[in-house]
Each structure stands twice: as C-alpha cells, then as structure tokens.
Amino acid sequence: MSKILVTGGAGFIGSNFVRMVLLGSDHEVVNVDALTYAGNLENLTDVERHQRNTFVRADIADPAAMDQVFAEHRPDVVVHFAAESHVDRSVIDATAFVRTNVTGTQVLLDKSRIYKVQRFVHVSTDEVYGSLGPWGYFTEETPIQANSPYSASKAGSDLLVRAAVHTHHMDCIITRCSNNYGPFQFPEKLIPLMIANALEGKKLPVYGDGRNVRDWIYVTDHCEGIRMAMEHGKAGEVYNFGGDAERENIFVVKEILRRLGKGEDLIGYVKDRPGHDRRYAMDSSKARATLGWTPRHTFEAGLQKTLDWYVANKPWWERVRSGAYQAYYEQQYGRR
Ligand code: NAD
Ligand code: TYD
C-alpha cells in the first residue's frame, strides 16, 4: 500500500482517478485541491468519507502551504492533475495558467525532492504536440509545438518535469492523453456543454466549420492508464494515451442530438476560437506494448454511458451551472 498525493482530485479526471484508487486498490489518497471554479467536492460525495481518503484544500503554487502538506502527510507518490484546463479561458487571460500549471508544478517538484517522494506522475496532454494535418499521429518523440496559452503552460510544466529527471535524477513519469469525456466533466467542455444545452433546449455553439478533429477517450480508460504508468512505468519515460476515436466536432454534436432525440436546428455555428488547433490524434502503441494498457470503451459505448449519466444526474450539472456547488465545501468543512 502506498500513500498517493493526488493534486486536483476534485476536478473531472482527478475525481474519477480518486474513486478508482479508493474502490479498486488499497492505496491511501491525500487529495490536494484549491477548489477553483473547476473543483467540485460534489464529484466525490460517494467516497468522501472513505477511511483511506483525506481532503486538503490548498493551492499547489503556494510553497508554504505545500511544505505543510508534504511534511504532514509524507506521500510515497504524487499524481499531479491540478491545472487550469480550459483553452477558451486561456485565450481570455493566461495568468492563472502560468501560475498553476508552471509555478505550481515546480513547487510540487521541489517539495517532492525535499520530502523524498518515490515517484512523481505528471498528467499532461496531447495538446503540447501542437496540431496535425489530415494524416499522421503524435508519438512520444513528436516535438513539443504548443499553440494555445493552455497548451504552452502545460508544455512548460512537462519541461520542468523533464529537467527534474535530468538534473536531480528524480523518478518522474509524464503521461499525455487525448480529449477525455465522461461523468463529472465541467459543462464548459465540448461534450458536457452540448449535452446540457441540448437537454435544456439551448443552442449548441459549434466553432468555425465544425470540422476540427479530436481523439476522444472515456475518462476511466485514461485513469487506468495513469494507474498503470504509476505502478509499472519506467522512470523518466513519457506515455501517450488515446482513445482510437477520432471524430469531427460536428459529428460528435449531431450524434449527441440524435441520441437525445433532439433536432439539428439546435446547432448554431459561431465564430472560430482564435488559433484553433485542427486535429489531434494519438499513437498509444508504447503504452499498449510496455504497460499492457488498452482503452476499454469504443466512442459509441462511452458516449452512451456519458449521455445516460448526464440525463440521470441533472441536479449535478444544474448546481454547477447555477454556482450552487461552490457552497458545498463551506457546508461540509466550514469556512476556510
Ligand atoms: P479540471 O479543470 O476539471 O480540474 C482541475 C482541478 O485542479 C480542479 O479541481 C481545480 O480546483 C484544481 N486546481 C486548479 N488550480 C489549482 C491550484 N492552484 N492548486 C490546487 N488545485 C488547483 O481538469 P481536468 O479536465 O480534470 O484535467 C486534469 C488534468 O489532466 C490537467 O492537468 C489537464 O491538463 C490534464 N488533461 C486533461 C484532458 C481533458 O480532456 N480534460 C486531457 C489530457 C490531459
Ligand atoms: P474543448 O472541449 O474545449 O477541448 P480542447 O479545446 O482542449 O480540445 O473543445 C473540443 C473541441 O470542440 C475543440 O475543437 C473546440 C470545439 N468546441 C466547440 O466547437 N464549441 C464549444 O462550445 C466548445 C467548448 C468547444
């Protein structure tokens, strides 16, 4: 049994990972999350009182706060999800992206070195590789060519992790994954936004010509990959994870409408995102060959599970959209 310090465990992927670890292993979890707009403890109500789960509200970019967390909890492993994660927000203002994604990652690396953490798993993204034309795939050797402030800040964090391996001989692993979807995703990202809008009869805003391509992966398949990399990955290595499910945005949007029994008249084409990357596609053959990982969900099966979840959990996303979810921390833990 190891003690895993999970950062960003109240967010979308982090909360799915925390649940997987608590219910599917005997590891202990210390979940460190600042509870920004994207952090939601209602993502974890079913495992909140699990005996191997501890929640700490703290900012990863605050060195004194992190020193306290590492000194008190002495983690064996760090799995680092915490980030500002939405491209559109980074286009408007990149300040928080640099602070959390770059500074925050360096603070965690420093504390991990001082407190002799055995392994640091850095959760990154395919977006650091830039944009593809109609052919080809990203491999772990593809040069970093980030295009948005979000992906540039993630690329910065990846390079800091690489430097910690090279300079300080730290045992770090970088995972890079394609676009996730599934339960508990904040309804500002494509799939949950489109589902929630369709269910409320609102317009579905499709950027540009709608023909940008993403490689979609069901969130628990990504979490399994991270867990396998954490347990069996080789120090200093990068592992790509993708869903083998390239789809144009407009296909995804139409499929959501079709499965919900809604008309395509809800689609509204809007002005394109500045610098919008055209296509992402992952070559995950290294993770398959060396970790024995494979995604379990086809896009069709994963999308149906996701639709069923959002239909059944309307109060969850209504509380996110109204802002009511932000009172949950105070209700459970009192004022900070
Ligand atoms: P998210 O935005 O849903 O969650 C981010 C979490 O980090 C939130 O709980 C937030 O409160 C927390 N956080 C933000 N700033 C913090 C700070 N300064 N200190 C402590 N906690 C802070 O993000 P997500 O979609 O779950 O993504 C998690 C990670 O996976 C990110 O690093 C992201 O770059 C990476 N990733 C995401 C995707 C995707 O499709 N969503 C794909 C590949 C990689
Ligand atoms: P998003 O979920 O923001 O993920 P990312 O930009 O990190 O890939 O967007 C996925 C795709 O959907 C991307 O090509 C932008 C597009 N998109 C829309 O067309 N409309 C929207 O309202 C959003 C949020 C995204």
What are 308's two structure tokens? 């069923």
Contact 156, 150 (CB under 8 A): no
pLDDT in tens, 249-277: 999 999 999 999 999 999 999 999 999 99
Which pLDDT does position 283 carry in this prediction?
98
For residues 35-42, give the mean pLDDT. 97
Which pLDDT does position 335 carry in this prediction?
63
Alpha carbon 9 to its chain's center: 10
For the Cβ of 206 lying below 6 angstroms from any atom of ligand 2, the answer is: yes
The CA distance from 197 to 191, in Å, is: 10
Pocket of ligand 1, beta carbon within 6 A: 7-8, 10-14, 33-36, 38-39, 59-61, 81-85, 100, 104, 123, 125, 154, 177, 179-180, 186
Ligand 2 mutation pick, 214, 216, 257, 282, max ligand atoms within 8 A of CB:
214
The CA distance from 173 to 238, in Å, is: 6
86: nearest Cα among 148, 129, 131: 148
Integer Rg of the chain from CA: 19
Which pLDDT does position 1 carry in this prediction?
84
147-158 as b/e, with b when 16 or more CB fall inside 10 Å?
Answer: bbbbbbbbbbbb
From the CA of 154, how far away is ligand 1's center (Å)?
11
3-state helix, strand, coil in the chain (%, to 5): 45, 20, 35
Mean pLDDT of the chain: 97
How far, CA to CA in Å, does 265 sit from each of 178, 188, 196? 29, 21, 16
At 136, which CATH number?
3.40.50.720
pLDDT in tens, 195-250: 999 999 999 999 999 999 999 999 999 999 999 999 999 999 999 999 999 999 99
Which pLDDT does position 329 carry in this prediction?
83
The CA distance from 21 to 157, in Å, is: 25
Contact 211, 200 (CB under 8 A): no
Which pLDDT does position 330 carry in this prediction?
80
Q: Which domain holds residue 231?
A: 3-333
The CA distance from 156 to 153, in Å, is: 5
From the CA of 323, how far away is ligand 2's center (Å)?
22
From the CA of 82, how far away is ligand 1's center (Å)?
4
Decide if pLDDT at 336 tops 70: no
From the CA of 327, how far away is ligand 1's center (Å)?
20
pLDDT in tens, 76-102: 999 999 999 999 999 999 999 999 999
What's the number of domains the chain is made of?
A: 1
Among protein residues, the one with the nearest Cα to ligand 2's atom 3 is 189
Decide if pLDDT at 35 tops 90: yes
Percent of the chain with pLDDT over 70: 99
21: nearest Cα among 2, 40, 38: 2
For residues 135-159, give the mean pLDDT. 98
